[in-house]
């Protein structure tokens, strides 16, 4: 299992956390471990992990995200 963290811009409240969680839960091949304001920790059994799909799902709900360095 590959674990990765996304830094997410524009989150500032519990409602944002809920929207991000829902968007990421819908991404096939991704397990949501934790979502907090500004970041999400995810796991995937796929290699490579579908980071681009997770970022695209967040863009659809109005958030920009990038892989934590």
**Residue-wise pLDDT tens digits, 22-59:** 999 999 999 999 999 999 999 999 989 999 999 999 99
The whole-number pLDDT of residue 1 equals 85
44 three-state secondary structure: strand
Hey, how many other C-beta atoms are within 10 angstroms of the C-beta on 66? Answer: 11
* Bridging pattern class, strands 64-67 and 39-44: unpaired
The whole-number pLDDT of residue 69 equals 73
Give the span between the Cα atoms of 40 and 62, in whole angstroms: 15
If you average pLDDT over residues 4-12, what whole number do you get? 97
Hey, how many other C-beta atoms are within 10 angstroms of the C-beta on 40? Answer: 26
Structural domain total, the chain: 1
If you average pLDDT over residues 3-24, what whole number do you get? 97
pLDDT band at residue 3, thresholds of 50, 70 and 90?
A: very high
Domain that holds residue 48: 2-67
Give the span between the Cα atoms of 59 and 23, in whole angstroms: 9
Q: What CATH number has the domain bearing residue 25? A: 3.30.70.100
If you average pLDDT over residues 3-11, what whole number do you get? 97
């Amino acid at each position: 299992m590959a674990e990765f963290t996304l830094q997410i811009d524009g989150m500032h409240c519990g409602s944002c956390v809920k929207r991000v969680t829902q968007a990421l839960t819908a991404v096939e091949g991704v397990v949501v471990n934790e979502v907090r304001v500004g970041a999400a920790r995810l796991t995937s059994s796929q290699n490579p992990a579908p980071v681009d799909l997770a970022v695209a799902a967040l863009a659809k709900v109005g958030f920009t995200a990038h892989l934590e360095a």
